[in-house]
Structure formats: structure tokens, C-alpha cells
Amino acid sequence: MPISNHNRDVVDSLIFFAFVAITALCLSFTFSMIVYQLGLPTNPRSFVLTNLLISACVAIPTGVIASQHEFRLKSYQRRLEALAATDPLTGLYNRRFFKQALEDEVQRMRRSHQTAGLVFFDLDHFKRINDRFGHKTGDLVLQEVAAAAFAELRGPFDRLGRWGGEEFVILLSNVTLEQSALVCERIRERIAALHLEARDEAFSVTASFGTCLLKPGAQIDMTLETADAALFQSKRTGRNKVTSRRAVELAA
């Protein structure tokens, strides 16, 4: 079971503390041995023990302070990385980092020879919600939709991102086109079943989906265009539905 980033930072900080404390003690012990060899102390044993005690009193607090600084620095770096990778409204991958995840998946598929599903979906007539209830309500709707979609995915294996506006993108690892379409149907139904309310008025939203199969050797830009074309077909033929298409592969 992989450890979390927080636990990894704690372990790294403890290791850093041990390194600082042991280094300080070693330096102190070396200094004591040099002084002892010179024959300066009148009571060598007492001198060495006293010197080590004083060194420990200095080394341990120094190690604690240094390790706390290291932990805070790593935590700050993690937060910066998270802010750079996620959409601030929904907490999902932003467009740039989703494309990086997509490239990583293609590299992995070239080794595993598995396939993946690429999905675009967006909310139907979302502008009407903003116009009727305001952008604050629109933002809450996007958060609810993001949570509903995420609930149907398989934890760390699948990726969900906000492509822009009310449009979302999903990467389903190790699935067939049929399986990808089934996942889309479950998400579509979950979104349609959301109970939303604003200004004491209940309302609902629907979403249209386009999915295509990502194969080893597929061209990423072409696959994105194929999924986007499938989404456009869903919207053009009635909305609140799923359309599947097969992406063209690169020639070997």
C-alpha cells in the first residue's frame, strides 16, 4: 500500500532530524577525541562525558528545528504543486495537467498494450442557470457535478479534469469502448438525479457525453478531437445522451 505524501514528508523529516543530530554528535565526539589526544583535560573521562552531554543538548533542539523547517518546506512545495495541477473551483485536474496525465497513460499503454477511454462531457444549457440564478449558483452546480462524476470513477486509476467552463474530461484506464460508454451512462444518470436548489426553487441539470477509445500508438490530439466530435454529436442530436466513436490510430 503506497504511503501518502504527508506520511512521506514526516518520514523524510525524521530522517533529516536524525542526520542533523548524529552529525552534530559526531563532530562533538571528534573534537573531544582531538582534545583528549592532546592531553589537555585533567580528567579525560569527565571531559568527554560532559562534552557529549552539552553536544546532545545542542544537537537535539537543532535537529528538531531543522526537521520542522524541512517538513514545512515540503508541505509548502506540495501545496504549490497541488495549486498548479488543479482547478481552484472544483479541485479537479486542470487542462494542462490532465494533458500530462494523458501523455503518461499513452506511454504506459505502449508497454502494457491496454486501451483506455477518453471522455468529454459538458452541461446542457448551462448558460440558462447562470442567467437565471447567478454565477455563484452556477459555480455550486459545477462542484456538485464534479463530485457526482468523481463518485463513479475508480479512485486512483481514472482521471477527471475540468477542461474549461462547464466542460469536463475523463480518462478511464484499461477499459474497452463499450465499458467507457457504460461509465458515461452511470455518470449521466447520476448528474440528472442531482437535487439542486437556488432561491427556494428546485431545478436539475443534464449532461451530454462523447467518448472514444484510446489505443497504444494513438495520436493524442486526434483522440481529443474524436471525443470532442462525439460530444458535439450528442448535443446536436438531442443532448443528455452518450455518443461513442473510434479514434484513428497512427500507422505503424
CA 106 centroid distance within chain: 18
Q: Which is the catalytic residue, given 70, 103, 166, 225?
A: 166
Distance CA 46, CA 60 (A): 21
Distance CA 128, CA 141 (A): 12
Handedness of CA 13, 14, 18, 24 (dihedral sign): positive
Q: Is 225 a catalytic residue?
A: no
Give the Å distances, CA to CA, from 125 to 128, 129, 132, 221, 223. Answer: 6, 7, 11, 27, 25
- Best CA proximity match to 53, nearest among 30, 28, 35: 28
Compute the residue count for the chain.
252
Is residue 172 within a helix (H) or strand (E), and if so which, with residue range? strand 167-172
- Best CA proximity match to 242, nearest among 185, 193, 180, 200: 185
Check residue 241 and report its DSSP letter: S
Question: Active-site residues: which are they?
Answer: 166
